[in-house]
Chain A
Amino acid sequence: MGSVSIANVSKSYGSFEAIKNIVLQIEPGEFVVMVGPSGCGKSTLLRTIAGLETVNAGTISVGGEDVTHREPAERGVAMVFQNYALYPHMTVTGNMGFGLKMAKQAQAAINGAVSQAARILHIEDHLHKQPKALSGGQKQRVAIGRAITREPKVFLFDEPLSNLDAALRTKMRVELGRLHNQLGATMIYVTHDQTEAMTMADRIVIMNDGEVEQVGSPLDLYNRPVNRFVAGFLGSPKMNFIDALATDVDEKTVRVSLSDTFSFDVARNGTAPSPDDSITIGIRPEAFGEGDVGFELDVRIVENLGRETLVYGTPVGFASSESDAEQGDIVIHFPRQREVRTGERISVRFSANAIHIFDAGGITRHFANTCS
């Protein structure tokens, strides 16, 4: 068990700043998941913690000790790579015991650690095999086992499940959760997968462009995103964004105008925008349904998933402000099957309380009321 403090860490490749002045405190035993778009610096941050990259500025501490200038093996961390990185010329036992062997541990201690890790990961039957004789899931277990035997203070995972198929990923996700409870170790986990982030994390760190956008519990981030980026990043399908004007602002309410003829009042809860500010409102696909505001929608695509229905369509009178939304489409999620056909015009309602408001700079000015 160990805490991790990242204090003002920056890392550049040439003139390109991959991570910029990152500050992050991770408590002992925490499961922290780092997410963000491709190329935002997640792996780089993880690798600086591991010591595989040197930092340009800042300090990294593990378990209260400054390890910024220590060799990877002397930091008390272990890393699991996306493509397993097992030594092909060693057996499973050899792979899992290699770190201890390099640390000049007695053979008996190595054997003990390996068989214990193998028991935890249910790979006792494969100990004598070479990596090439293992399935993807088994390889990843061995890679995790190699990390476990060294009893690190902190586990680092870089997209460890992304090479596995969906079913196996779900299974391994549950197992990693169990492993975290069993070992009680601190774990930092990088992923692209929203489900992994939402289900496994004690806290999620959302990164963008080498910077931390927001840190918080999964639901916290989902319900109270500090800016438009975070709001749009979490959730699938993503939040609908619509350009609007704040036409009237008083003590209690903001009047939101989507067009000259379409406006509604929202009870304020954040820092109010000024009158006549351009704003963006955000509505999650699942927030449509009942409510005091209604509009018409020309249905373009219907995705019937059995348990739920996704409807993509062009609203009458306003449009999505996302540049990649075709014909100003917004997406609506119905938590059940629904008879809708392409080309049909349906009426949709939502509650004025269910919207987020972002100002022109993307900062959240009003949070949706989700517990209704």
Chain B
Amino acid sequence: MKIHIPTPLRAYTGGEQTVGVPGATVGQALQELTTAFPELRQHLYTGEGKLRSFVNIYLNDDDIRYLPQKESTPVGESDELTVIPSIAGGCEDGAADALHAICNYFCPKGAKL
């Protein structure tokens, strides 16, 4: 099956954007991937072997975390896995939130930071 690699992780697949691997289940395919490209492992999994929270892996259009059989889900030659790190952010950080909370408590009513 095919596994699509996102731009930042292609440094560990020799520049390949799509890698073909054997495997009868999602887990086996991922195992083949990290065996072929050992440097990928630490970018996908924590030290305890759990998929990193910000790494999403999709089997076709489904997040493997929510598949009923998870990594034991059987796969065929025409299935595709896509590795996709999350994209998020925002303009107000935790420190600013804390400052606002302090201000709301101490500052005169109506004052703004």
> Do A and B interact?
no
B interface list, Cβ under 8 A from A: none
Give A contacts to B, CB under 8 Å. none
